[in-house]
Structure 1
Amino acid sequence: MPDNPATYLTLLQSGQWFSHLPPALRAALLDKARLLRLEPGQRLFCRGDPPCGLYAVLEGMMRVGAVGRDGKEALLTLVEAPYWFGEISLFDGQPRTHDAYAEGPTRLLQVPQAALLELLEREPGYWRDFALLMSQKLRLTFIALEQMSLLPAAQRLAQRLLLMAEGYGEIGPRQTLHLAQEQLALMLGLSRQTTNQILKELQVRGVVRLTYGEIEIADLAGLRQAAEAG
């Protein structure tokens, strides 16, 4: 595909956040953006790195999380097209809070930090649009924390699959999740064995179909029922 950010306009407009921006802000972001290509496993940034701007996934997937001193990984999320991420450091100017690596061959749009701050200096009203991007993720974080504390593993897993199937409210419903069982286990803080057992039970009930590296949602209503009832 041509290396021109504007060629990705249709893809980006399929996302709720970008599609609801003022036309002038959409144009400004594309005008200041540049394209990046990452190889599988390549680092975009690490925890503690200085702010480097705002990103949108155009192709592929980004893995966002952290690795503890004991080598144990905490996987927060897998970021797919047309999601935007990296906005926290835009607000506070502080170092990156987590690591971001390409899960496979990935293409990103980057709007550099300096260009964003210059834009916001000229048009301070746009701060609200970026705040909406961050507040949506903050809302999902609070939901995940509540689920971790209060819900049994099976219901928690069903609710996470439902959120992903419904595009986290950013894109329309999708039937196939490009998600390995190990990744799902890491996101939920569950063992691989427990995750596999719950998924197999959902498969027996006809709610999901399991294939290598993917989870197909066969019965969205059934998944919603599992998420609500446990």
Structure 2
Amino acid sequence: MTNGTRWRSWLSHDHWFNDLPASLQDSLLLGMRQRRVTPGRFVFERDEPACGLYALLAGSIRFNQVSQQQHWLPQTATARPYWFGEVSLFDDRPRRHDIYAQDQVILLQMPQAAFEQLLQQYPQHWRSFRKLLAEKLGVAVPPVDEVTLLPTDERVAFRLLLLTEGYGEIDRSTRIVSIHDLPSKRGLGLTPEVVDRVLGQFAERGIIRRDHDFISVLNVDRLRRAARHRLTELTL
């Protein structure tokens, strides 16, 4: 049995993978490489360059705390496979977290260069990865070149959703981001003064709390509503 055949059997019950065009399924199976990570070792570290798309097949991964003042641990993933890493396609920033193996972990990894080359060659596949991310954010994800078309408030709300919800259910307990992670050429493009004004409004509405250099999201549902626009409206 070839790796591609074995991996296809592991992914056969995943609804996102099953909905992909056959050509994209084949490209992922051809381009992904298996990684085994022993307990306590990093999958990737904060501030590293983007390193591609991952499918968690076995084991559990955990995230670091964004602030050393936070002492609770994020939840572990329950679904298998669990896809993560696609946020890098919609951002221009390094990794925001240390992600490490809690126990023996088996992953499939599509390296960043191969990932980006695939989308350059077949730009129609962007839609599939936007759908994957939308499932985690709870809002539709606009094409990369249209994010800055969002109105100011909606753009800041979408950016906060991307930062706090981009890893979905495996990162539900760390809804805290550094103010320094907000700027993004692809996803924000606003002056610090404008961002501060919008954050102040969100704080007054009970959506977030400012704590020096950190932003705590207090109400994700309100944040999603604040990001609502024709470009982010989910269609069933």
Q: TM-score range by the shorter chain?
A: 0.5 to 0.7
The structure in which a higher percent of residues are helix is 1
Q: Give the Cα–Cα distance (whole angstroms) in 2 for the partners of residues 45 and 80 of structure 1.
A: 20
Shift of 1:22: 0.4
SS of 1:187's equivalent? coil
Shift of 1:79: 5.8
Q: Give the Cα–Cα distance (whole angstroms) in 1 for the partners of residues 20 and 5 of structure 2.
A: 15
The structure in which a higher percent of residues are strand is 1
Which string of whole-angstrom CA distances, capped at 9 and with x for unpartnered residues, describes residues 46-84 of structure 1? 222110000001111222343423363452653642111
Which string of whole-angstrom CA distances, capped at 9 and with x for unpartnered residues, describes residues 9-30 of structure 1? 1221211111110010000001
Q: Is the 8 A contact 1:47 1:66 kept in 2?
A: no
Q: Give the Cα–Cα distance (whole angstroms) in 1 for the partners of residues 43 and 26 of structure 2.
A: 25
Shift of 1:119: 0.7
- Residue 37 of structure 1: aligned partner: 36
Q: Give the Cα–Cα distance (whole angstroms) in 1 for the partners of residues 78 and 101 of structure 2.
A: 9
Residue 64 of structure 1 aligns with an amino acid whose one-letter code is F
Q: Give the Cα–Cα distance (whole angstroms) in 1 for the partners of residues 174 and 96 of structure 2.
A: 19
SS of 2:99's equivalent? strand
Residue 127 of structure 2 aligns with an amino acid whose one-letter code is R
1:187 aligns with 2:176: no
Q: Give the Cα–Cα distance (whole angstroms) in 1 for the partners of residues 39 and 73 of structure 2.
A: 19
Q: Give the Cα–Cα distance (whole angstroms) in 2 for the partners of residues 80 and 43 of structure 1.
A: 20
- Residue 111 of structure 2: aligned partner: 112
Q: Give the Cα–Cα distance (whole angstroms) in 2 for the partners of residues 65 and 14 of structure 1.
A: 30
**Counterparts of residues 196-207 of structure 1 (less than 5 Å):** none
Count of residues in correspondence between the two structures = 148
- Residue 28 of structure 1: aligned partner: 27
Change (3 A) 1:51 1:67: same
- Cα RMSD over matched residues? 3.0
Unaligned segments of structure 2, at least 5 residues: 140-156, 161-168, 176-236
Shift of 1:188: 8.6
- Residue 91 of structure 1: aligned partner: 90
Give the TM-score normalised by the residue count of structure 2: 0.55
Unaligned segments of structure 1, at least 5 residues: 146-167, 169-182, 190-230
Q: Is the 8 A contact 1:65 1:73 kept in 2?
A: no
Q: Give the Cα–Cα distance (whole angstroms) in 2 for the partners of residues 188 and 24 of structure 1.
A: 36
Residue 60 of structure 2 aligns with an amino acid whose one-letter code is M
- Residue 58 of structure 2: aligned partner: 59
- Residue 129 of structure 1: aligned partner: 128
- Residue 206 of structure 1: aligned partner: none
Runs of 4+ in 1 over 3 A off after TM superposition: 186-189
- Residue 80 of structure 2: aligned partner: 81
Q: Is the 8 A contact 1:46 1:96 kept in 2?
A: yes
- Residue 14 of structure 1: aligned partner: 13
Residue 107 of structure 1 aligns with an amino acid whose one-letter code is I
